Amino acid sequence: MELQLKGGGPPVVPTNTVYSTVQQQDYSASVWLRRKEKKLEHSQQKCIVIFALVCCFAVLVALIFSAVDVWGEDEDGITEENCNKNCRIVLVENIPEDVTFSENGTAHLPLSVGLHGLLEMAFRSVEIVSPQWNLNSSVYDSSSQKSAGQGWALLQRLQGLKKKGISLKIASGMIDSAELKGLSRYSEVHYINMTALTKGFLHSSFWVVDRKHIYIGSATMDWRSLSTMKELGVIVYNCSCLALDLHRVFNLYWQLQYKDFIPSMWSKRLSALWNKEENLPLLFNNTKSDVFVSSSPDVFCPKDRTVDLDAISYVIQTAKRFIYISITDYLPLTIRKAHRYWSRIDGMLREALILRNIKVRLLISCREETHPLTFNFVWSMKTLCMELANCSMEAKFFNSRELRDGTLQGINHNRFMVTDSAVYIGNFDWVGNEFTFNAGAGMVISQAEGVGVRNSTLVEQVRVTFERDWYSRHTKNLQANKIPVCNKHQLNQMAHLKITTEPTESSRSEETPNGSL
């Protein structure tokens, strides 16, 4: 309500009206500010969402480009469709001079001859993975120079490849190897930091030549593998299908140089071409065969690659009559800070013995490094068959000879398994740590039993080789309460243990009638 003042002045507006008007204006301003703040808040939220999406995209791109070999290395136009599947395969062995067999004992192509033959056939490339590089050892004495000469000769051949225009690529975990540093002048060497990747070691041992020929087996690039160690492997000729798949394992190692983490994704070019579900059908020496390559550890297995443990399981499960195993070490434990029972292989063998009545033979090396618990585990398995019919488990230890300088001659360094229908050749000792932390490769070859004439198939040849070693004078049977003495060092340890544990007269008088605990 407006008031009219005398004298005709302007009307007077009541105070409460003015206050309400100002209050209304303040309210309008606050509403406007609130709307402004909400719009600003919405804008900020949109910016955050957009920023998050951009970050996710950037991380995805980084992951893609951090993955090894994004585009893959050129494979010379070789594919699983056009590769060669008609191949020749031979067993290669190194037999030390003082390891002798009967006159009718089986003999195979010497390892050194086979490796030199591969280098002679090389035209474009040689790719090698080895856990050891000590071909030109400087620690052997004059009495060993003849033996070490084989390693020196192979090293000279490798160094001479560059002059012929042949590419030599080496993948190794031996970062401090003096021999590899010298060899790097003639080759490309990629070092793999296995300590950072898996806290393990690179134990793979194979060759790929011209993406056509391969070698895989127990031997390393150490002069002893060509002289004083007993080794076994296979060389496969003109087999680009198999070579292509093994090359992919090499290429995985090759691309891991400078990396301290396992890539979250692998290139398609590193995926396995064949595996235990889908074997590679080949002709080996005109015999139908099914083959696949395996690898370890599982974090080194891209899509479709079979893990070594699954490959071993495959061979054990497909056995119908027998399983023969020749191995350097057998120990179902993982040994780090604490010892833990590792049942994967041990359980498979016990199941084959008890549930399927498969005959099992274990031929294990007897050497200074043999873990004392090896005898306990093997004897434990043997006792399963004591009161059971149709249950057969036997174990022997291949004994090496100690030389004057304390080194061992003739160590059985084999790593293979043969059954009535398949062969597994790998790079590992059968110890829990090997399959859990270390990198290795293997190959499974399956052939129908009874195909062709006697000893014509690879499976039959490996079986005969195992039996030659099994019945040789170099083996010792596993006996109850008697641990095989592998060398003087172990003998001294056992004598010391016997002296320290021999009860005294006073202790005998304190024993209970049931004997001491």
Would you place residue 264 in the very low, low, confident or very high pLDDT band (cuts 50, 70, 90)? confident
- Segment 339-364, tens digit of pLDDT: 899 999 999 999 999 999 999 999 99
Q: What is the rounded distance in angstroms from the CA atom of residue 430 to the CA atom of residue 146? A: 32
Task: Give pLDDT, residue 69.
Answer: 42
Q: What is the rounded distance in angstroms from the CA atom of residue 23 to the CA atom of residue 28? A: 9
* Contact indicator for 393, 382 with CB cutoff of 8 Å: yes
Q: What is the rounded distance in angstroms from the CA atom of residue 40 to the CA atom of residue 354? A: 75
User: In the predicted model, what is the mean pLDDT of residues 194-207?
Assistant: 96
Q: What is the rounded distance in angstroms from the CA atom of residue 374 to the CA atom of residue 366? A: 10
Q: Is the pLDDT of residue 505 over 80?
A: no
User: In the predicted model, what is the mean pLDDT of residues 83-87?
Assistant: 92
Would you place residue 70 in the very low, low, confident or very high pLDDT band (cuts 50, 70, 90)? very low
Alpha helices by DSSP H, 224-270: 240-255
Ranges assigned E (strand) in 244-347: 280-284, 287-296, 306-307, 322-327, 330-331, 333-335, 339-341
Task: Give pLDDT, residue 517.
Answer: 26
In DSSP terms, which residues pair with 283 in a beta bridge?
86, 288
Percent of the chain with pLDDT over 90: 61
Would you place residue 511 in the very low, low, confident or very high pLDDT band (cuts 50, 70, 90)? very low
- Segment 466-491, tens digit of pLDDT: 999 999 999 999 877 676 776 554 44
The dihedral built from the CA positions of residue 325, 330, 332 and 336, taken in this order, carries a sign that is negative
Residue spans of the domains in the chain: they are 85-491
Q: Is the pLDDT of residue 4 over 80?
A: no
Average pLDDT, the chain: 83
What is 85-491's CATH superfamily?
Endonuclease Chain A (3.30.870.10)
User: In the predicted model, what is the mean pLDDT of residues 268-274?
Assistant: 94
Q: Which of 89-103, 177-191, 496-510 has the lowest mean pLDDT?
A: 496-510
Percent of the chain with pLDDT over 70: 74
Q: Is the pLDDT of residue 26 over 90?
A: no
Task: Give pLDDT, residue 215.
Answer: 99
Sequential DSSP letters for 422-487: EEEEES--EEHHHHHH-BEEEEEEE--TT-SSTT-SHHHHHHHHHHHHHTSTTEEE-BTTBPPP-S
Q: What is the rounded distance in angstroms from the CA atom of residue 164 to the CA atom of residue 104? A: 42
Q: Which of 67-81, 134-148, 308-322 has the lowest mean pLDDT?
A: 67-81
User: In the predicted model, what is the mean pLDDT of residues 281-303?
Assistant: 96
Task: Give the residue, 382 or 16, on which the prediction is more confident.
Answer: 382
Q: Which of 12-21, 92-101, 384-393, 397-406 has the lowest mean pLDDT?
A: 12-21
Cα 127 to Cα 208, 209, 214, 249: the distances in Å are 5, 6, 9, 11
- Segment 174-190, tens digit of pLDDT: 988 999 999 999 999 99
Would you place residue 36 in the very low, low, confident or very high pLDDT band (cuts 50, 70, 90)? low
Task: Give the residue, 168 or 26, on which the prediction is more confident.
Answer: 168
Q: Which two tokens stand for residue 376?
A: 């306990």
Q: Which two tokens stand for residue 294?
A: 């395996």
- Segment 419-475, tens digit of pLDDT: 999 999 999 999 999 999 999 999 999 998 766 566 689 999 999 999 999 999 999
Would you place residue 319 in the very low, low, confident or very high pLDDT band (cuts 50, 70, 90)? very high
User: In the predicted model, what is the mean pLDDT of residues 139-166?
Assistant: 82
If phi > 0 it is left, if psi is from -120 to 50 it is alpha, else beta; for residue 304 that is left
Q: What is the 3-state secondary structure (H, E, C) of 347-409?
A: HHHHHHHHHHCCEEEEEEEECCCCCHHHHHHHHHHHHCCCCCCCCCEEEEEEECEECCCCCEE
Task: Give the residue, 369 or 251, on which the prediction is more confident.
Answer: 251
